[in-house]
Amino acid sequence: MDLGDVQARMQKTLETVRQDIGTIRTGRATPALVENIVINAYGGTTQMKIVELAQITVPDPQSVVIAPYDQSIIGDIKRDIIAANTGLTPVLDNNLIRIAVPALTSERRLEYVKMLHKKLEDGRVKLRQIRHDKMGEFKRDFEEGVLPEDDRKRLEEELEKIMNKMLEMVEEMGKTKETELTKI
């Protein structure tokens, strides 16, 4: 019995947390603000992320430019950016969508820090759930006589080490993002 599956699941959870906190605005424009917004394109027949439908560039720290590969869906992209309720206002400019990213107020920064902490805690809860599931599996295997007690203890200790490493990574991501959010 090995812990590769658990590590893979925890790594996937970490990546989800990384993407999730990447969507929190930091006062400067980044493609992450819009790239994962899902667009109902082609009359609602196709759902794709903006990053799959357009090129996203950041010409300066206060603006994002989206250049759709197919001009027929430019209206769909604009509509769904507004519907995503990100606080960003897309403006059509010929064949491009321009988004001005306003500077953050101190109150807004505090709101984003709170949102960051909630997303980090959600990630920690998911990691703990993965650990809990695996511990339950160890317990069942031990009770069925499939897993000797020594192996169970060793695997549980290894699992704890992996868990602690993952939690440290979540903390590190959180500190980095919080620094970005509070820096003016």
Domain extent listing, the chain: 4-21+105-182, 28-100
Cα dihedral: 11, 17, 18, 23 (round 10): 160
CATH topology of domain 4-21+105-182: Topoisomerase I; Chain A, domain 4 (1.10.132)
Which is more confidently placed, 107 or 184? 107
Q: Model pTM greater than 0.75?
A: no
28-100 CATH pick, 1.20.1640.10, 3.30.1360.40, 3.40.50.2000, 3.30.200.20: 3.30.1360.40
- Confidence band for 1, pLDDT divided at 50, 70 and 90: low
Equal CATH topology for 4-21+105-182 and 28-100: no
* pLDDT value for 184: 63
- Using alpha carbons only, give the angle 178, 23, 106 rounded to the nearest 5 degrees: 45
Distance CA 33, CA 20 (A): 10
